[in-house]
Structure formats: structure tokens, C-alpha cells
Structure 1
Amino acid sequence: MNLTLSPAAKTATIAITLAALGTLLLQTAVDVSSGQKLGASLWIQARFFTNLMILAVALIFALTWRRGAWPGASLPAALTVWIVLVGVIYHALLAADHDPEGWDVLVNIFQHTAIPLAVLGTWALLAPKAGLGWRDAVIWLGCPIGYAAYAILRGLLDGAFPYFFLNPVKSGWLGVGLYVIGIGVLFLVTGLLLVALARVLARR
């Protein structure tokens, strides 16, 4: 399996890296300009799966570009599942109650639409796919399940939950459990679909 980045992949990975970093910096600038301390802004951002996945995109794509090679087939595919579902879950569950203003509109577009689509397109057209198996989709669940545990524990400690479906005060523990199971199934099914698509594309 050739992991060396093509010229197109080099361009895509650095462009997505800059877009992801720019999005995080703009979000921080908006927070600080509204009166938040820098440390408080970063701490709050670290509560959200969206921001953590945007950071993961920036770091993994930056390292990929720097090395000039993909880190195997599994990690880019996993990152694609995670960031695409950031957009899907936002538009399905959260967008109706979210009304960004000013620069937050641009941040929102990049976080939940532009970057997920760019990562998906880059994976589909440029990333390695040979060797992906069904087991990979199960392994990829570690990220969202680990995040859910982190977010709930953090919320119990400081009283601030990032999403209503992880808030036992609003949704109850049964509701939170059902949401976590449902989202876990969504991540698993999406991962399995991506593996199936990878197998089709790898044969071409």
C-alpha cells in the first residue's frame, strides 16, 4: 500500500489544516473579544466534541502533510467518521436551537459543514483504503464513547454539560443512556458503511 502523499493530497491536507486551525483561532478570538479570559475560552471549547474533533483534524492532517505520507488507512478513515458525524449530529439535533451571530456564523459553517465535507472528500478521493476491515469500525467507537464518559464526568464536576443529550438533569440517566447507545450505533453504522465504501473504492 503506497502511503506517500500525492501533490493533490499535500494541497488538501495543508488546506484543511489551515482551515481547522483558523476556525479554532477565530472561535477563540470571538470569545476573548466578548470578554472571556483566554484560559476560560480554551477550557470551555475543550468541553465540546466539535472543537476536539476540529483540533484532531488540524493535528493529524498537519502531521500527515509534514511527514509526506498517510498514517496508514485506519486513522484517516476514523477521523472521517468522527468529523462527518459532528456535522450530521449538529444539523439533526442541535442546529434548530443554535442561532450564531457575527463571526460565529463563519465559525459554525466551517465547524459543522465545510471541514466535515472537505475531510470526507479528501478521504474518498485521496486517502489509502486498502486493508480496512469491519473490526476497524468497532475500534473507532473508542473516541465517541470515551468522549461521552469525559463530558458526563466533567459535567457532574462543574455543572456544565456540552449537549442536552449528555445532561442527566435535562434528559435523565435513562435518556442519556439511550442517547449514548443511539449515537454509538450511529457511529458504528457509519464506520461500517465507510469500510464498505473503502472496499469498493480500493478495487477501482
Structure 2
Amino acid sequence: MKVWRIAIAAVACLGPALQYWLMTHDQTLATGAIKTVRYFSYFTNLSNLLAAAALVAPLIASGDTSLGRFAAWAERAGPRVAIATYLTITALVYHLILASEWSPKGLDLVADTILHTVTPLAYLIDLAARGGEGEARWIAAAKALPFPALFAAWTELHGALSGWYPYPFMNAAKHGYPAVMLNILAMSAAFAGVALILTALSRVRARLALVRPAPISA
């Protein structure tokens, strides 16, 4: 299990790191600062960075330090459900809506595959295999929603000021705010639905673990 945890943590770190390198070394005229802001303006990158931090911290943290407290938080059932929700939506939106819009090659394809497929799937497998500390409460589903809501608010504010939007369905300049608000509401419902499903599955897993019979000793 320790080897598995190290492996998925390494992969989860590779995706965002490779994507940042690709974005900051492209051939556009945008400055490094603008490219960095745009990098952190993709929900894909944010969800993968959060997953990477949550997977790495428990492996290296010790004691009552800031990193140790973050590691303890990252191992709790509720936060693990929230991170799994973000990664699931990342994967679904990409494969159902965005994948047909471009055909990445080379390192772009590698980063694309890690961010949108490998890390989300690996994290869900890890959640199913290890669960989380304690039992995920139903309120965990509601607690998962502020982060994507803040992301939506940032996207529209940044887009209004810069004219740049990370995702076409959030482009208010092209589609207008009423249409974009409907898209955001639909996405919010998707986040809530996935969070509720994962919370339910996490609760079932925790209860099954409690009733699992102890192994018979020789």
C-alpha cells in the first residue's frame, strides 16, 4: 500500500508540474506572469494541485506543524470526498465536453492524460481502497461546493477584466451572462450530485469496514 501511495502521489505531482512547464514555455506573446495567472485559472490545474498536495503531505509530514495539520485534514473522509468530487468533475467535463475541441500531441498529450484521466481515476481507486479517517457526514457534500463557486466567481471577474476565459462554456463575452449563469448552475448541480454520491459511498464503505469480521487466528 505504501508503494501505491508513493506512486500515485508522484503521478499526481507530475501532471500539474508538466502542465505548468508547457504553459509557461509556449510560443505566445503573453508574459510569464500572465501565463502563471492563466495556469491557476484552470479548474483542472487547481483540482490536480490539491490532490497532489493531499497525497504527498501524509507521506512526508510529521508532528504538529502546519504541514502535519494539513496532512491530517487531507486524510479525513470529508476532505477526501471533496477532492474526489473535484477530480471527478474535472474528468467528466473534459471527456464529455472539451476533449473533442483539440487533439494534443507529445508532452501535451501526456499532461492531458495525467490531469484528466490518470490522477482522477487513481484518486478514486485510492478513496475506495483506503477510505478516510472517520465517516463522511452529509454536510461534507455541501462543504465541497464553495471552492468551485469561488472558482466561477474568479473566472467571470478575471474574464471581464482580461477578456480571457479558461473554458468556452464560461465565456460571458461570447455567450452573455444569462447563458453562462445557467451553465454555472448546471455545473453546481453536477458538483452537488457527485459529492452526494461519493459521500454516500464513503459512508457505506466505512460501515462495512466496521462490521467486517476479524480474521481467525491460528
Q: Does 1:15 align with 2:19?
A: no
Shift of 1:87: 0.3
Q: Do structure 1's residue 29 and structure 2's residue 33 form an aligned pair?
A: no
Distance in 2, matches of 1:162 and 1:190, equals 22
**Any idea what the Cα deviations from partners look like across 1:127-155, whole Å, max 9, x if unmatched?**
32642122110111011111110111111
One of 124, 127, 132 as aligned partner of 2:131 = 127
Whichever residue aligns with residue 4 of structure 2, its letter is: A
Aligned mates of 1:67, 1:13 — CA distance in 2: 14
Letter in structure 2 aligned against 1:52: L
- For 1:32 and 1:145, locate their aligned partners in 2 and report how far apart those are by CA, in whole Å: 27
Q: CA deviation digits over 1:138-188, x for unaligned, max 9?
A: 111011111110111111111101111111122211111111110100110
Q: Contact 2:84–2:120 (CA<8 Å) still a contact in 1? A: yes
Partner of 2:113: 109
Query: What residue in structure 2 maps to residue 172 of structure 1?
Result: 176
Map of 1:52 onto structure 2: 46
The match for 1:145 is 149
Runs (5+) with no aligned partner, structure 1: 1-7
Which amino acid letter does the alignment assign opposite residue 58 of structure 1?
A
Correspondences of 1:68-107 after superposition (within 5 Å): 70-71=72-73, 72-107=76-111
Calculate the TM-score normalised by the size of structure 1: 0.88
SS of 1:41's partner is: helix
Q: What SS class does the counterpart of residue 53 from structure 2 fall into?
A: helix
| Mapped partners of 2:146, 2:85: distance in 1 | 12
Partner of 1:196: 200
Question: Considering only aligned residues, what root-mean-square deviation do their CA atoms show, in Å?
Answer: 1.9
8 A contact 1:129–1:198 mirrored in 2? no
SS of corresponding position for 2:176: helix
TM (norm. structure 2) is 0.83
Q: Distance in 2 between matches of 1:63 and 1:32?
A: 26
Name the residue aligned to 1:118.
122
CA distance in 1, matches of 2:60, 2:81: 19
Note the residue ranges of structure 2 that are not aligned, 5 or more in a row. Answer: 63-70, 209-218
Cα distance between partner residues in 2 of 1:89 and 1:27:
18
The answer to whether the 8 A contact 1:152-1:166 is kept is yes
Shift of 1:109: 0.5
Identify the residue that residue 163 of structure 1 maps to in structure 2: 167
SS in 1 for 2:136: coil
Do the aligned residues in 2 keep the contact of 1:130 with 1:198 (CA within 8 Å)? no
Asked if the contact 2:141/2:196 (under 8 Å) is kept, the reply is: yes
| Structure-1 residue corresponding to 2:216 | none
Counterpart Cα distance in 2 of 1:201 and 1:180: 31
- Number of residue equivalences: 196
